Amino acid sequence: MKAIRLMDVVKYTKAIDYTAKDRQISITSVEFDARKVTPGSLFVPLVGGATDGHSYIQQALDNGAVATLWSADPAQAPSDDLAVVFVDDTLQALQDLANFYRRDLNPIVVGVTGSNGKTTTKDMTAMVLQAKYRVHKTQGNYNNEIGLPYTLLQMPEDTQVAVIEMGMSDFGEIKQLSEIAQPDIAAITLIGESHLEFLGSRAGIAQAKLEILYGLKPNGVLLYPANEPLIESEMPEIDQPIYLRSFGFTDHADAFAYDMVEEVDRTYFKTNLEPNVTCTIPVLGAYNVSNALIALSVAELLDVPLEQAIFQLANFQLTANRLEWLTTHQGARLLNDAYNASPTSVLAVLKSLAALNLAPGQRRIAVLGDVRELGEASAQLHRSLAQGLAPESFERVYLFGPEIASLYETLQDRYEASHLFYEPADHSRLIAQLQADLTDKDLVLVKSSFGTDLLQVVTALTGKETH
């Protein structure tokens, strides 16, 4: 982080008041977790749920904080050598400070949202841009109202491009994030069914994702899936010029892929953006080719030579728990994708795995958990996953969670009882059944929403800690 002055914090957080023995204090990092505070930090005590960050002020002070924001009782504010900036709302102050810091550094900002594929697209985009620029990107899943401003405040002084992931669960959230980040380029990966419980319909989901336009800079670019009519029908009225560019698998898209070949741990394709070069991504799936098209489109917009971008793309690394190939104790290959799920993403990965050629004696096994936040459509959408499952493509199916019971009922007429396993709540029973069944010739998919906690199943089967 570029050092900022205490008086800038006072000004841009709209402070009510402040106390400081030294007004020239230099702040070299901003932390909301007292455990991460280092000498020179500004501590931001956030308040939420059962936790009040003000309670950790002594730990922050012990770790070297030189200043703190403060929205609790002023009489309880620390004194001594710690500068205190009094604000009405520490979260709002964090966001305002991030907005100032972004303007001060003035990088090109690429914002990424969508129902699925945000993290992969962010990682791919950052990787291709590194061929020309000094790039800062969202770490892990720091993509919400706390994580996004924190990400911006972590930017090194020499950052030229920031690739920022934006997540949400309800209306208004992407608008807020986009107005903080103010992207030059915005990308919507796809419109799926994630958060249907709160947004009501796919049209509502499209409206929520399109809120990214409210922070898009004048003459900015929106990248969107060419096969999604909801983008056009739900497009909000924006009082500034923007440019639209589509991506997909049909030749009417501005960026399209063709001649795709999928293997277990990589996918090959060609694109009209650079038709003389075969692109390689080190992950499975047509849906990841779609994500790669976003990355290559951003590279083209920012004048990165596409041959260099394609070379970079072949070497990108996924964030943990996203399409991660592991080996079980029995020697089976396990595809860990248990961090996030929607019906669309489940069907996409099932389709990709079903298309792979198997060696003699090899089996495909699907381990699927609940897809959360589908609301009243949950039973119907879980049943719809049956279109991706058949004995000839997935010899055995393991289902976990109360909401996926409707899929179990649907599959009972399709699978022999010994090839279909359902467990509503007990992870240990699922683990025991899988440990007894798996062999070294199996390809195993583990896919679910994070809240279903199939990551503990992955850990038990492979010995790898997941978090």
Say yes or no: 115 and 80 in one domain: no
Stated as kind and residue range, the H or E segment containing 48 is strand 47-48
pLDDT score for 467? 61
| 341 domain-assigned | yes
Q: How far apart are alpha carbons 412 and 394 in whole angstroms?
A: 14
Q: What is the pLDDT of residue 192?
A: 84
- The answer to whether residues 136 and 282 belong to one domain is yes
464 CA to centre of own chain: 21
Higher-pLDDT residue of 265 and 310 is 310
Whether residues 306 and 333 share a domain: the answer is no
For 200-251, write each residue's pLDDT tens digit.
899 999 999 999 999 999 999 999 999 999 999 999 998 899 999 999 999 9
Residues 202 and 304 in one domain: yes
- The answer to whether position 268 is within a domain reads yes
Is residue 198 very low, low, confident or very high in pLDDT (cuts 50, 70, 90)? confident
Among 58, 88, 118, identify where a domain stops.
Answer: 88
Q: Would you call 101 helix, strand, or coil by DSSP? A: helix
What pLDDT is recorded for position 356? 92
Number of domains in the chain: 3
Here the CATH number for the domain that contains residue 61 is 3.40.1390.10
If you average pLDDT over residues 84-106, what whole number do you get?
A: 98
**Percent above pLDDT 70 for the chain:** 99
Residue 194 clears pLDDT 90, i.e. is over it: no
CA distances from 85 to 11, 69, 182 (A): 10, 5, 26
E strands along 338-432, which residues?
363-369, 396-400, 420-423
Euclidean distance between CA atoms 160 and 132, whole angstroms: 10
Print the domain residue range for 252: 107-314
CATH number at residue 387: 3.90.190.20
Q: Which of 53, 88, 123 is the last residue of a domain?
A: 88
User: In sequence order, what are the beta bridge partners of 17?
Assistant: 86
Establish if 457 belongs to a structural domain: yes
Q: Pick from 72-76, 91-95, 228-232, 447-451 the range whose average pLDDT is largest.
A: 91-95
Residue at 99 is within a domain: no
Tell me whether residue 93 is in a domain.
no
- Tell me, yes or no, whether 10 and 130 share the same domain: no
Length of the chain: 467
Query: What's the pLDDT tens digit per position in 349-387?
Result: 999 999 999 989 999 999 999 999 898 999 999 999 999
Answer yes or no: do 19 and 56 share one domain: yes
In-domain check, residue 364: yes
pLDDT at 197 over 90: no
- CATH number of the domain that 283 lies in? 3.40.1190.10
In a domain, 97, yes or no: no
* Side-chain half-sphere exposure of 378, counting CA atoms within 13 A: 17
The 10s digit of each residue's pLDDT in 393-408 is 999 999 999 999 999 9
Are 165 and 253 in the same domain?
Answer: yes
Q: Is the pLDDT of residue 321 over 70?
A: no
Q: What is the pLDDT of residue 94?
A: 99
Whole-number pLDDT of residue 63: 97
User: How many other CB atoms are found less than 10 A from the CB of residue 90?
Assistant: 24
Same domain, 202 and 334: no
Known binding positions for ATP: 114-120
| Co-location of 305 and 217 in the same domain | yes
Q: Cα separation of 270 and 258, whole Å? A: 5
| Whether residue 76 is found in the same domain as residue 36 | yes
At residue 466, the pLDDT reads 72
Give the CA radius of gyration of the chain. Answer: 24
Bind-site residues: 114-120
Q: What is the pLDDT of residues 238-285, one digit of tens each?
A: 889 999 999 999 999 999 999 999 999 899 999 999 999 999 999 999
Q: What local confidence, expressed as pLDDT, does residue 451 receive?
A: 92
Count of alpha carbons within 13 Å of 175, Cβ hemisphere only? 10
Contact 69, 90 (CB under 8 A): yes
- Is residue 410 in some structural domain? yes
Tell whether the torsion through CA atoms of 320, 322, 328 and 332 is positive or negative: negative
pLDDT digits (tens, 9 = 90+) for 33-82: 999 999 999 999 999 888 999 999 999 999 999 999 999 999 999 977 79
Q: Which residue is it, tokens 């007429």?
A: 413
Specify whether 149 is located in the same domain as 268. Answer: yes
328 Cβ partners below 8 Å, 6+ apart?
334, 438, 442, 444, 461, 462
Looking at 278, 294, 314, which one is the last position of a domain?
Answer: 314
Residues 145 and 217 in one domain: yes
Taking the C-alpha atoms of residue 56 and residue 35, their distance in angstroms, rounded to an integer, is: 9
